[in-house]
């Protein structure tokens, strides 16, 4: 199962889903190390990126928009995801990203594609006609893709939902419109906006979308193990699989899926290795974002790494109140010692 996006080929079509507040540089690099073949940035506001260019101040705030679009060499191939509802701003932002020469740009390397968000369910976004609100406005959705693909040479990809609600499932029709407008790939999150992130995804809409278009279709929703990925490929005939929450605290899911696809066995890392990577995750986030922000943001990741481990509840409680990196590392080291005492061999 391989997939082509512009000039790049992904052997297995295995992608890390964009997740705002989760899939930052540190997490993306770890997922890539363990097998993710393609990364997507957290969503970036097209309008905010454009307005940032018009500002007069010399230095940009580190919490501005441009840092969200930064790509390091270790992360390629990576797409940047834009959200917005105005074709003019979407096109302008896409061009800036392609040229990678905008004010505040921290990228070492340009993106390999521009992805457009048509799935975000958050009211603040849909209230502006952005994200999944575009599922209710296929004409505007098409105009956005058309405007963006006219100004960039990079492939334009779109991440959509099944539809707005159960009575308006329209991913196959949307995909056709977007393909005609110039999209090179469609990723379908098999839930409606109304469902948010639960209950279970209904993959039938991925099958239907794959039948409707000739560009590659990537399936997304509830891939939490290698078995899920194999089933998704088999049931829907999709060209690629995008993993979201299943990778939280578990970047090894990509190695597991690749092993299964290649008919090889895969052994999950030991508790000690898992916790060593959790410590590394913390260290890298602090290096990237500074101790205060890095520590605060890393805590949720560390908590995910502990899922299913003996003593996780009390360790999590101590980590959540930790004020320094050393305090968290001490908790993780203690867990390693306890796990080795329980399973000395």
Ligand X SMILES: Cc1cc2nc3c(=O)[nH]c(=O)nc-3n(C[C@H](O)[C@H](O)[C@H](O)COP(=O)(O)O)c2cc1C
Residues annotated as part of the active site: 120
The piece of 57-65, 241-249, 250-258, 263-271 that touches ligand X (CB under 6 A) is: 241-249
Please work out the total of residues on this chain that contact ligand X, with binding judged by CB under 6 A.
23
Q: Please, which residues bridge with residue 9 across strands?
A: 4
Q: Which of residues 48-87 bind ligand X (CB under 6 A)?
A: 81
The answer to whether residue 123 forms part of the interface with ligand X (CB under 6 A) is no
* Closest among 192, 212, 203, 208 to 241, alpha carbons compared: 203
The answer to whether residue 216 forms part of the interface with ligand X (CB under 6 A) is no
The answer to whether residue 39 forms part of the interface with ligand X (CB under 6 A) is no
Q: Which of residues 246-275 bind ligand X (CB under 6 A)?
A: 246
Which of 51, 197, 266, 268 contacts ligand X by CB under 6 A? 197
The piece of 172-180, 216-224, 310-318, 324-332 that touches ligand X (CB under 6 A) is: 216-224
Structure tokens at 227: 């078995």
The answer to whether residue 228 forms part of the interface with ligand X (CB under 6 A) is no
Q: Please, which residues bridge with residue 14 across strands?
A: 241
8-10 and 3-5 strand pairing: antiparallel
Given a contact cutoff of 8 angstroms between Cβ atoms, the answer to whether 16 and 247 are in contact is yes
Q: Exposure of 325 by Cβ count < 10 A (0-12 exposed, 13-18 middle, 19+ buried)?
A: middle
CB nearer ligand X, residue 81 or residue 339 = 81
Given a contact cutoff of 8 angstroms between Cβ atoms, the answer to whether 5 and 155 are in contact is yes
Smallest distance from ligand X to CB 248, Å: 8
If you write DSSP's letter for every residue of 98-128 in order, what string do you get?
HHT-STT---SS--SEEEEEE----HHHHTT
Helix orientation angle between 253-261 and 226-236, rounded to the nearest 10 degrees: 50
CB nearer ligand X, residue 131 or residue 294 = 131
The piece of 24-32, 96-104, 145-153, 220-228 that touches ligand X (CB under 6 A) is: 220-228
Smallest distance from ligand X to CB 306, Å: 18
DSSP helix/strand/coil, 224: coil
The answer to whether residue 111 forms part of the interface with ligand X (CB under 6 A) is no
Which of 14, 15, 17, 328 contacts ligand X by CB under 6 A? 17
φ, ψ of residue 248 to 5 degrees: the values are: -65, 120
The piece of 3-11, 29-37, 147-155, 217-225 that touches ligand X (CB under 6 A) is: 217-225
CB nearer ligand X, residue 79 or residue 261 = 79
**Angstrom distance (rounded) from CA 17 to CA 28:** 10
CB nearer ligand X, residue 107 or residue 250 = 250
Residue that is written with structure tokens 């100004």 in the block: 151
Binding site for ligand X (CB under 6 A): 17-22, 42-43, 81, 117, 119-120, 159, 189, 197, 220-223, 243-246
């Amino acid at each position: 199962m391989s997939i082509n996006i512009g000039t790049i080929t992904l052997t297995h079509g295995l992608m890390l889903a964009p997740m705002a507040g989760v899939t930052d540089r540190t997490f993306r690099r770890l997922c890539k190390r363990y097998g993710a073949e393609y990364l997507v940035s957290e969503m970036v506001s097209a309008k905010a990126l454009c307005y940032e260019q018009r500002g007069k101040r010399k230095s940009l705030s580190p919490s501005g928009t441009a840092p969200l679009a930064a790509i390091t060499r270790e992360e390629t191939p990576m797409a940047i995801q834009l959200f917005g509802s105005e074709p003019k701003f979407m096109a302008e932002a896409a061009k800036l990203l392609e040229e990678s020469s905008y004010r505040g740009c921290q990228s070492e390397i340009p993106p390999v594609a521009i992805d457009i968000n048509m799935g975000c369910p958050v009211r603040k976004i849909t209230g502006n006609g952005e994200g999944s609100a575009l599922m209710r406005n296929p004409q505007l959705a098409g105009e956005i893709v058309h405007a963006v693909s006219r100004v960039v040479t990079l492939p334009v990809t779109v991440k959509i939902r099944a539809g707005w609600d159960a009575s308006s499932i329209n991913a196959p029709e949307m995909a056709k419109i977007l393909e005609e407008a110039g999209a090179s790939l469609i990723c379908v999150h098999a839930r409606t906006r109304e469902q948010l992130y639960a209950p279970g995804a209904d993959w039938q809409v991925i099958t239907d979308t794959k039948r409707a278009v000739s560009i590659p279709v990537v399936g997304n929703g509830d891939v939490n193990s290698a078995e899920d990925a194999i089933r998704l490929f088999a049931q829907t005939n999709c060209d690629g699989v995008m993993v979201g929450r299943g990778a939280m605290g578990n970047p090894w899911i990509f190695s597991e899926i690749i092993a299964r696809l290649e008919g090889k066995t895969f052994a999950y890392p030991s508790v000690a290795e898992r916790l060593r990577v959790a410590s590394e995750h913390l260290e890298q986030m602090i290096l990237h974002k500074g101790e205060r922000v890095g520590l605060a943001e890393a805590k949720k990741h560390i908590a995910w790494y502990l899922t299913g481990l003996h003593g996780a509840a009390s360790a999590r409680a101590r980590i959540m109140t930790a004020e320094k990196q050393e305090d968290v590392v001490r908790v993780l080291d203690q867990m390693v010692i306890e796990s080795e005492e329980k399973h000395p061999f």
